[in-house]
């Protein structure tokens, strides 16, 4: 790892690392090296990697269909552990998607790569917080089953950075802005104030992540001379994306959604 001095190559190295602790440590080290100016950025070079090797994941958790992921009452320790585990899995996938956004798409402005490195670092931090809290509940990441819906859309959009920005950060991750407040309320009501405080951190940071997706989606639409709102609707249909409400309107405003964009979202709700 130390021998690699190019950001995108190092992001790919982190992406294929299967061990969660090693992956989060590698992301932190990559971020520190970037801050120190010891990494270069080649935005034009292509990188080779087999789809089978991406992303690196531990043997557990077992991945199942979303309907088969177990749920328990928040009144039990196991129920809270299952929810925290589900959140940790989302954050682990979010680390991978940020790393994928760095290495997969060449030729973009340097700020794009810096932005997605920030996302990778913050998602790794979120995962670490949730994994540590999971341990206080007597469980560990991998103890429960999980689903792979987020990564399925990442895989569908490997060939188009604009589709990736439209359908992952500003669709699937934006759904987190809507879902976190009620989840936080459930955990707080159950007496798990530590988990609720972690969700406060995640919501704060996720607003910034969705804003990054919004900004680069707008940039790529502008580069192609496309209307962002009309194009988004076309991409939702083309990639069979799912848009769900209700929406956290204030958080979405902070994340850069215009009033016109939010009104248009209601047409795509399933």
Whether 26 maps to a domain, the answer reads: yes
Whether 208 maps to a domain, the answer reads: yes
Is the pLDDT at 49 greater than 70? The verdict is no
List the one residue out of 223, 234, 243, 245 whose CA is nearest residue 108.
Answer: 223
The pair of three-digit structure tokens given for residue 7, joined into one six-digit string: 């950001």
Ramachandran class of 37: left when φ > 0, alpha when ψ lies in -120 to 50, beta otherwise = left
* Mean pLDDT within 113-131: 98
Angle between helices 77-104 and 174-189 (to 10 degrees): 160
pLDDT value of position 4: 55
Angle between helices 77-104 and 193-224 (to 10 degrees): 30
Answer for the pair 185, 244: CB distance below 8 angstroms, yes or no.
no
Cis bond upstream, residue 61 (ω within 30): yes
Whether 46 maps to a domain, the answer reads: no
List the one residue out of 255, 253, 252 whose CA is nearest residue 212.
Answer: 255
Percent above pLDDT 70 for the chain? 94
Is the pLDDT at 3 greater than 70? The verdict is no
pLDDT value of position 112: 97
| pLDDT, tens only, 193-233 | 999 999 999 999 999 999 999 999 999 999 999 999 999 99
The structure tokens 């087999």 sit at: 50
Give the side-chain half-sphere CA count within 13 A for 21: 5
| pLDDT, tens only, 84-108 | 999 999 999 999 999 999 999 999 9
pLDDT value of position 135: 97
* Mean pLDDT within 15-27: 95
* Mean pLDDT within 134-147: 93
The pair of three-digit structure tokens given for residue 259, joined into one six-digit string: 């009033």
Band the pLDDT of 253: cuts 50, 70, 90.
very high
| pLDDT, tens only, 66-82 | 776 767 778 899 999 99
pLDDT value of position 50: 52
How far apart, in whole angstroms, are the C-alpha atoms of residue 195 and residue 208?
21
The structure tokens 């919501």 sit at: 203
pLDDT value of position 2: 43
Total structural domains within the chain: 1
Is the pLDDT at 59 greater than 60? The verdict is yes
Is the pLDDT at 1 greater than 50? The verdict is no
List the one residue out of 155, 122, 125, 126 whose CA is nearest residue 54.
Answer: 155
Whether 256 maps to a domain, the answer reads: yes
Is the pLDDT at 167 greater than 60? The verdict is yes
The pair of three-digit structure tokens given for residue 61, joined into one six-digit string: 């958790």
How far apart, in whole angstroms, are the C-alpha atoms of residue 47 and residue 44?
10
The 8-class DSSP code of residue 268 comes to G
Whether 259 maps to a domain, the answer reads: yes
Whether 48 maps to a domain, the answer reads: no
Please report, for the domain that includes residue 153, its CATH number: 1.20.1260
* Mean pLDDT within 13-32: 95
Q: Which domain holds residue 205?
A: 7-41+53-268
* Mean pLDDT within 111-128: 98
């Amino acid at each position: 790892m130390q021998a690699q001095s190019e950001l995108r190559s190092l992001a790919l190295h982190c992406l294929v690392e299967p061990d969660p602790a090693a992956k989060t440590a590698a992301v932190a080290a990559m971020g520190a090296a970037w801050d120190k100016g010891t990494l270069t950025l080649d935005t034009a070079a292509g990188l080779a990697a087999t789809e089978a090797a991406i992303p690196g994941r531990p043997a557990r958790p077992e991945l199942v269909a979303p309907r088969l992921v177990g749920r328990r009452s928040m009144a039990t320790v196991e129920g809270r552990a299952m929810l925290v585990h589900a959140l940790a899995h989302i954050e682990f996938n979010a680390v991978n998607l940020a790393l994928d956004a760095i290495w997969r798409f060449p030729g973009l402005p340097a700020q794009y790569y810096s932005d997605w490195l920030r996302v990778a670092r913050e998602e790794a931090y979120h995962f670490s917080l949730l994994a540590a809290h999971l341990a206080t509940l007597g469980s560990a990441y991998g103890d429960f089953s999980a689903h792979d819906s987020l990564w399925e859309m990442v895989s569908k959009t490997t060939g188009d950075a604009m589709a990736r920005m439209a359908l992952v950060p500003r669709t699937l991750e934006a759904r987190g802005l809507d879902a976190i407040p009620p989840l936080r309320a459930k955990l707080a009501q159950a007496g798990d104030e530590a988990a609720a405080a972690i969700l406060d951190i995640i919501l704060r940071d996720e607003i910034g992540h969705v804003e990054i997706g919004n900004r680069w989606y707008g940039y790529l639409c502008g580069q192609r001379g496309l209307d962002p709102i009309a194009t988004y609707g076309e991409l939702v249909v083309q990639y069979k994306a799912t848009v769900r409400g209700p929406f956290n309107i204030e958080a979405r405003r902070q994340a850069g959604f215009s009033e016109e964009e939010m009104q248009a979202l209601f047409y795509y709700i399933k």
